[in-house]
Amino acid sequence: MLGETLSDPYGTEGGGEMRGMGLLPVDTVFSDRKTRTRMQAVVTASEFAGAELDGYEIHTGKTTVRGESFCTLENGQPDGCVNGSVFGTYLHGLFDTGSLTQKLAEYLCRRKGIPCEQASPISHEAYQEQQFDLLAEGIRRALDMEAIYALMERGH
């Protein structure tokens, strides 16, 4: 949807052709097969160059890119597109490792004139772990854990 056109000749997602938002110089044509693959990549786009990505691709079709690629996949292939402050890629989980999150926070701080020391992003994985810890603590406070442990020891 960030690109210029999206075409679905096989009816995979409803068929037809539609205009995208035109934010990236790309055109996508859906195929009749969906790809799901674990991928690692390194960002090549200047503001975020060097950020390591560990995610997965889920897409249907082929995108023709007429601009700068966003990253290089582990197999050496370019992926995604960047145009000014807009970037897009087939990779999901971009912010899971925290590498891109850190570079994005630094970039936004520079653009807004905010000292980067104030930005302390954490990886999605670390955030998720914090949330699980908060949930576990809430459950422990709400339940009689000693009674639950006693039941577990008795085998009931």
Is residue 105 included in any domain, yes or no?
yes
Range of the domain at 41: 5-121
Number of structural domains (the chain) is 1
pLDDT digits (tens, 9 = 90+) for 8-46: 998 888 889 999 999 999 999 999 888 889 999 999 998
Is residue 144 included in any domain, yes or no?
no
Residue 119 CB contacts under 8 Å (≥ 6 apart), including other chains: 105, 106, 108, 109
Domain CATH for 64 = 3.40.50.880
Is residue 153 included in any domain, yes or no?
no
Is residue 95 included in any domain, yes or no?
yes
Query: CA–CA separation, 135 vs 149, rounded Å?
Result: 18
pLDDT digits (tens, 9 = 90+) for 111-150: 999 888 766 667 778 888 999 999 999 999 999 989 988 8
pLDDT at 46: 87
- pTM reported for the whole predicted model: 0.73
Is residue 136 included in any domain, yes or no?
no
